Chains A and B, each alone.
Chain A
Amino acid sequence: DADVTQTPRNRITKTGKRIMLECSQTKGHDRMYWYRQDPGLGLRLIYYSFDVKDINKGEISDGYSVSRQAQAKFSLSLESAIPNQTALYFCATSAGGGPHTDTQYFGPGTRLTVL
């Protein structure tokens, strides 16, 4: 079984709909992240969480919210989806530690299309 899973893998929705993307991990990591990837651009950080009680905004948090339900679960919500939120979304986890050891492990991604 994959260490980091994301559901759904693909989703097509309409403008204005509320969407939730879910991420689960079995790696036992405290740190979890949500990124989006657009063609020609690098991955950009939306939100991150260092533990269940810690939630922080990344560089592009507007229009998104998150919930850390447990150490193993981190959900991303789009309250009112808009077409420019069409992208590939990745969840990632890491164990923390020093800069050279805090490797991030990514889930398989969710392809979201907002019509």
Chain B
Amino acid sequence: RKEVEQDPGPFNVPEGATVAFNCTYSNSASQSFFWYRQDCRKEPKLLMSVYSSGNEDGRFTAQLNRASQYISLLIRDSKLSDSATYLCVVNGDSSYKLIFGSGTRLLVRP
């Protein structure tokens, strides 16, 4: 079983749609959770950290469910510019060691 699992997609949605991605992780001792965004052939960039109580940043909402060991990302009112691959990232056995999921690809169409 992979340490961090994501549905690779692609998720193909129209502009303005709401879309949600889930990610599961295997290490119950993980303490840090993040969503990174990666555009084609570019470097990953931090989208948002995920806190236990859930957090929101504009159109983006992240949730953490420790009991079920999954993280979610909700994107409201999708824009064409949201088209990218979204990487779920979890820390491993210490804060520095990040485990990356293979990513979920999102395509937003006009």
Give A residues with C-beta under 8 Å from B: 31, 33, 35, 40-45, 48, 50, 58, 88, 90, 94, 98-100, 102-109, 111
Contacts and interface: CB of A to CB of B under 8 A. Distances in A.
Given A99-B31, A100-B32, A100-B49, A43 B96 contact: no
B100 A102 contact: no
A43 B95 contact: no
A94 B96 contact: yes
25 contacts: A31-B96, A33-B96, A42-B4, A42-B99, A42-B103, A43-B98, A45-B97, A45-B98, A48-B96, A88-B41, A90-B44, A98-B95, A99-B31, A99-B32, A99-B91, A100-B32, A102-B95, A103-B49, A104-B98, A106-B43, A106-B44, A108-B42, A109-B41, A109-B42, A111-B41
Interface of B: 4, 8, 31-32, 34, 41-46, 49, 51, 87, 91, 95-103
B42 A41 contact: no
Contacts of A103: 34, 46, 49
A107 B31 contact: no
**The 10 residue pairs across chains A and B that have the minimum distance between CB atoms:** A42-B100, A106-B43, A99-B32, A99-B95, A43-B100, A42-B102, A99-B31, A42-B101, A103-B46, A102-B95
Given A103-B46, A106-B45, A108-B42, A42 B96 contact: no
A12 to B, nearest CB: 16
Given A45-B98, A106-B43, 14 more contacts: A35-B100, A42-B87, A43-B100, A44-B100, A58-B97, A90-B43, A99-B32, A100-B32, A102-B95, A103-B34, A103-B49, A104-B98, A106-B45, A109-B42
